[in-house]
Amino acid sequence: MALSQKLLDAMNEQVKHELYSAYLYLSMSAYCESVNLPGFAHWLRVQVQEEMQHGMKFYDFINERGGRVVLQAIDRPPTAFESPLDIFEKTLEHERKVTDLIHGLYALAVEEKDYASQVFLQWFVTEQVEEENSATQILETLRRIGDQGHALLVLDRELARRGAVGGQSDGPGE
């Protein structure tokens, strides 16, 4: 069974959202590099890789189901951030938005009685729990330690230990 037009359009829109997420985290990483927080920058670049993979999962699924991927314009992400705390507040807010988008897709797949899409989207439902938890852990740590001082540098070093996609360590936010 091919994707319904409604579900195809929504999944094409989700490809855009996943690629925007990668673009957003790359912008955040650039900020961290500019303020000499290489561990934060690294953590965010690994996040970029994950988001690109998520976009490609949708891309491949659309093709596997006989749909046509139609790429859409990606908005420019913000480039000015106040601090690592600001970045992770925005990260959690963004991940919550993505969770809402995934839940909407899942609800649409249920409405369309598209069981293959429901199974596919279940992976993303689970992934979003992990994404929100990861962002929350780092955000709560930043709220405790603040944006200055030795503890921030310790956290920066800890975030630098995050492995590449497919081989991540068990550091904060994993």
| Separation CA 36–CA 135 (nearest Å) | 21
* The pLDDT of residue 157: 96
Q: What is the mean pLDDT of the chain?
A: 94
CB 105 within 8 A of CB 10: yes
- When the candidates are 3.40.50.300, 1.20.1260.10, 3.50.50.60, 3.90.850.10, the CATH number that belongs to 5-73+83-159 is 1.20.1260.10
Q: What is the pLDDT of residues 115-139, one digit of tens each?
A: 999 999 999 999 999 999 999 999 9
Asked whether the predicted pLDDT for residue 172 surpasses 50, the reply is no
CB 17 within 8 A of CB 101: yes
Which DSSP helix (H) or strand (E) runs through 17? helix 5-34
3-state secondary structure at position 46? helix
Give me the residue spans of the domains in the chain. Answer: 5-73+83-159
Asked whether the predicted pLDDT for residue 168 surpasses 90, the reply is no
Q: What is the pLDDT of residues 1-55, one digit of tens each?
A: 799 999 999 999 999 999 999 999 999 999 999 999 999 999 999 999 999 999 9
**Structure token pair of residue 171:** 């550091």
CB 67 within 8 A of CB 100: no
Average pLDDT over residues 131-153: 94
CB contact burial 133-166 (16+ within 10 A = b; e otherwise): ebbbbbbebbeebeeeeeebeebbebbbebeeee
Average pLDDT over residues 97-105: 98
Asked whether the predicted pLDDT for residue 84 surpasses 60, the reply is yes
pLDDT classification of 165: cutoffs 50, 70, 90? low
> What percent of the chain is predicted at pLDDT more than 70?
94
| Separation CA 30–CA 51 (nearest Å) | 16
CB 62 within 8 A of CB 7: no
* The pLDDT of residue 163: 82
| Separation CA 136–CA 25 (nearest Å) | 16
